[in-house]
Amino acid sequence: MMASCGVEKPAEIVEAELHLPEQIDYNAHVKPILSDRCFSCHGPDPGTREAGLRLDTPEGAYGFLSGATKKVAISPGNLHRSEVYDRLVSDDPDKVMPPPQSNLILSPREKAILVRWIEQGAIYNPHWAYIKPEKHALPMVSDPSWPVNEIDYFVMGKLDQNKLKPSPSVAKEKLIRRVSLDLTGLPPDLELIDEFLNDPSPNAYERVVDKLLSTVAYAERMALDWLDVARFADSNGLHADGYRMMWPWRDWVIEAFAENMPYDRFIEWQVAGDLMPNPSKKQLLATAFNRNNQTNSEAGIDDEEYRMEYVLDRSETIGKAFLGLTLDCARCHDHKFDPISQKDYFSMAAFFNQMDELGMTGNDGNTGPFLLYLDDEEERDLALLEAKIRALEEEKTKAQQRFLREQKIAGIPSSWLPEKTLKMGLVSHFGLEAHIDGKTLDQSGRLSATIKGSPELVPSPVGNGMRFKDERDVLEIPATGLFEMTDAFSFSFWVKPENRDPFRSLVGNSGHKNNYFRGYEMFLDSTNRVQVRINNALPDNCIHLITKDPISMNEWSHIALTYDGSADASGTQLYINGKPAGQVTLVNNLYKSILPVGDSRGNPVRRPLRWARSYREFDGDNGVFTGGLDELYVYNRPLTGIEIAALHQYGNPTQTKAVDLAEIAKHLEYHTNKESQAKNESLKKLRQEKLAMLEDKKEVMVMKERNHPRKTFLLDRGEFDKPREEVQADVPSFLPSLGEELPKNRLGLAKWLTHPDNPLVSRVAVNRYWSHFFGRGLVKTVADFGSQGELPTNPHLLDWLAVDFVESGWDVKALVKKIVTSATYRQESLTTPELAELDPDNVFLARGPRHRLLGEFVRDSYLYASGLLVEEVGGPSVKPYMPEGLWEEKGEFSNFLRTYQTDTGKDLYRRSMYTFIRRTSPAPAMTAFDVPGREDCVVQRLETNTPLQPLVLMNDPQIIEASRALAEKMQKEGGNQLEDQLTYGFRRVTGRLPAAREMELFKSMFSEELNRFRQNKADREALLQVGESKVDQHLPLEKTAALTMVANLMFNHFDFYTKQ
Top pLDDT among 892 and 89 is at 89
pLDDT band at 784 (very low <50, low <70, confident <90, very high): very high
**Domain harbouring 562, CATH code:** 2.60.120.200
Domain boundary among 601, 619, 642: 642
CB atoms within 10 A of CB 62: 15
In a domain, 143, yes or no: no
Q: Quick one: which H or E segment has residue 230?
A: none
Instruction: Answer yes or no: is pLDDT of 910 > 60.
Output: yes
Instruction: Answer yes or no: is pLDDT of 655 > 80.
Output: no
CA distance 35 to 22: 22
The answer to whether residues 496 and 614 touch, using CB atoms and an 8 Å cutoff, is no
Q: What is the pLDDT of residues 495-552, one digit of tens each?
A: 999 998 888 899 999 888 888 889 999 999 999 999 999 999 999 999 999 999 999 9
In a domain, 757, yes or no: no
pLDDT at site 121: 87
Mean pLDDT, to the nearest integer, of 619-631?
80
The fraction of the chain above a pLDDT of 90, given in percent, is: 74
CA distance 513 to 762: 42
Instruction: Answer yes or no: is pLDDT of 654 > 80.
Output: no
Instruction: Answer yes or no: is pLDDT of 451 > 50.
Output: yes
Instruction: Answer yes or no: is pLDDT of 656 > 70.
Output: no
Q: What is the pLDDT of residues 283-340, one digit of tens each?
A: 999 999 999 999 999 988 888 999 999 999 999 999 999 999 999 999 999 998 899 9
Domain boundary among 642, 675, 707: 642
- Residue 63 lies in domain: 11-125
pLDDT band at 353 (very low <50, low <70, confident <90, very high): very high
Mean pLDDT, to the nearest integer, of 41-65?
83
Q: What is the pLDDT of residues 57-115, one digit of tens each?
A: 888 888 777 665 567 888 888 888 888 888 888 888 888 888 888 888 889 898 899 99
In a domain, 363, yes or no: no
CA atoms in the 13 A half-sphere facing the CB of 825: 29
Assess whether the previous peptide bond of 502 is cis (omega < 30° from 0). no
Q: What does the mean pLDDT of the chain come to?
A: 92
In a domain, 689, yes or no: no
Fill in the DSSP letter of residue 29: I
Residue 441's DSSP bridge partners are 448
Q: For residue 699, give Cα distances in angstroms to 290, 767, 897.
A: 15, 35, 19
CA distance 991 to 985: 9
Mean pLDDT, to the nearest integer, of 256-264?
99
In a domain, 821, yes or no: no
CA distance 516 to 535: 8
Domain count, the chain: 3
The answer to whether residues 614 and 509 touch, using CB atoms and an 8 Å cutoff, is no
CA distance 795 to 125: 15
Name the amino acid, one letter, at 556.
W
CA distance 796 to 139: 9
In a domain, 931, yes or no: no
CB atoms within 10 A of CB 225: 20
Model's pTM, two decimal places? 0.92
In a domain, 569, yes or no: yes
pLDDT at site 433: 84
Domain boundary among 110, 125, 140: 125
Which of 667, 662, 536 has its CA nearest to residue 602?
A: 536
In a domain, 968, yes or no: yes
Pairing of strands 627-635, 463-468: antiparallel
Least confident segment among 6-10, 475-479, 663-667, 963-967: 6-10
CA distance 830 to 850: 8
Instruction: Answer yes or no: is pLDDT of 1 > 50.
Output: no
pLDDT band at 652 (very low <50, low <70, confident <90, very high): very low
